[in-house]
Structure 1
Amino acid sequence: MLKTVCYISDARLSEPLENVKAIYKKAKENNLKHDITGVLIFHKGNFLQVLEGMAESVDQTYEKIRFDSRHKNIIKVINIKTEQRIFEDYSFGFTIVKSSNEFKELTEYLKWLKNADNKIANKLIIMVENFIRNVG
């Protein structure tokens, strides 16, 4: 069974971009190994991440993140079993969104997703859009 988890958190310290890139690189490697898709957004000291994949893999990944010393104030905002992935067709795959151009491309992808009229996708879209708007 597929599962989607979305969380938001604060970076424990003011992470320099190089550290964030290292986090992303390691996350991408681990997520590829475990067939996890999604998106990671980091902006102004805040993370929003969507993890999608087999329930066991997503739960294990989230638990590692939960105990990662680089995060604080972690809030799991979505934790659902689902029949399909939302970010499977995202052209960047699992990515970190760090520039205004990447925000724009993610926004375009979210607009495309809205046409699918999927309740779960729409809930995630609203959350990601609010995150982008509030930290952008």
Structure 2
Amino acid sequence: MIFGKLFKWIGSSPKRFKTVCYISEHHCNLTHSEVNILLKRSQIYNIGHGVNGVLISASNRFFQILEEEEKEINELFERIQADNRHTNILNLFNTTIDRPFFSSYNSSFRVGLGSDEINEINKYLSISTNHPFEANVVGILNSMALSARLA
């Protein structure tokens, strides 16, 4: 009996976590309250499926980071890409990670974008990724924040 449990433990594979970061545009005809409802529904879905991350809406754009087991993230991102509320989806990165960074965020969302959010995402980028687009992501976030302030 002990050997059976040992072999089962040895044979089990560790979780493979994945993160996806994208930016998309949403239809200009979405009202502020409709965006809030969409963000809340996303949060409920993500919590129910163990998905971590952050979703930000500013200037008719969504910026989202998703983290969870690889299979769950692949399925969720396919659903997002098929959702007609998202247009011009730009996949900023899609990579495996050792552990989730946003696990304490409970799939939080923000309407608007400030320096606190940009700083948190910048920390995430420096810890979770080593890719050439890191500076571009921060630049995109700064641009979204500026556009939101000017609107």
Report the RMSD for the aligned CA atoms in angstroms.
Answer: 2.5
TM-score when normalising by structure 2:
0.73
Match 2:56 to one of 33, 41, 64 = 41
Give the aligned length. Answer: 130
Q: Which residue of 2 aligns with 1:26?
A: 41
Q: Any gaps of 5 or more consecutive residues in structure 1? A: none
Kindly indicate whether residue 26 of structure 2 is the aligned counterpart of residue 17 of structure 1: no
Moved more, 124-133 or 12-21: 124-133
Structure number with the higher helix fraction is 2
Q: Which residue of 2 aligns with 1:129?
A: 138
TM-score when normalising by structure 1:
0.80
Cα gap change, 1:108 to 1:54, in 2 (>3 Å) = same
Question: How many percent of aligned residue pairs carry the same amino acid?
Answer: 23
Question: Which amino acid is 1:21 matched to?
Answer: N
Q: State whether residues 14 and 45 of structure 1, in contact with CA within 8 Å, keep that contact through their aligned partners in structure 2.
A: no
Moved more, 38-47 or 8-17: 8-17
Q: Indicate the structure (1 or 2) with the bigger Cα radius of gyration.
A: 2
Cα gap change, 1:132 to 1:75, in 2 (>3 Å) = closer
Secondary structure of the 1:5 match is strand
Kindly indicate whether residue 103 of structure 2 is the aligned counterpart of residue 94 of structure 1: no
Q: Any gaps of 5 or more consecutive residues in structure 2? A: 1-15, 146-151
